[in-house]
Amino acid sequence: MASKVYDHLKQVPELPQKVNTKKTRPKKIAWVDEDNCTGCQACIPFCPVDCIEPVPADKYTWPPIPPVHVRENECIGCQICAKVCTKLTWDAIRMVNTNEYEERFDTIID
């Protein structure tokens, strides 16, 4: 039983050694399904460009622990947060094609 748990955790990405910044437009970016996010913040320290944060405090009146969101223009599409969320906590992050993201949310990603 214990070995199964350790095998599961082996697939969790390493924490980044330093914070980087985006250099090119990614093919996919991370989108948090806020209705499905527990707000545990486990994903935040794993992001190599530090672009995950709790949503603004006034966005929801419930639940008391707010979900997180991704600052979309800073995401490099590495998928680490999605793996961390799936392996350590929940399954609230989707990797979305950048063109489709722009259409869906009527925005431009640099």
Instruction: Give whichever of 1 and 14 is closer to ligand SF4, judged by the CB atom.
Output: 14
Provide the b/e sequence for 9-26 (b: ≥16 CB within 10 Å). eeeeeeeeeeeeebeeeb
Site string for ligand SF4, 20-59 (x = CB under 6 A): ----------x-x----xxxxxxx---x-x-xx-------
Options 12, 60, 89, 97; binder of ligand SF4; rule CB under 6 A: 89
How far out from the chain centre does Cα 36 lie?
Answer: 12
Residues 6+ apart with CB under 8 A from 20: 48, 49, 76
Q: How far is the CB of 88 from ligand SF4 (least distance, A)?
A: 7
Tokens of 28: 């996919």
Interface ranges with ligand SF4 (CB under 6 A): 30, 32, 37-43, 47, 49, 51-52, 67-68, 70, 75-81, 85, 89-90, 92-93
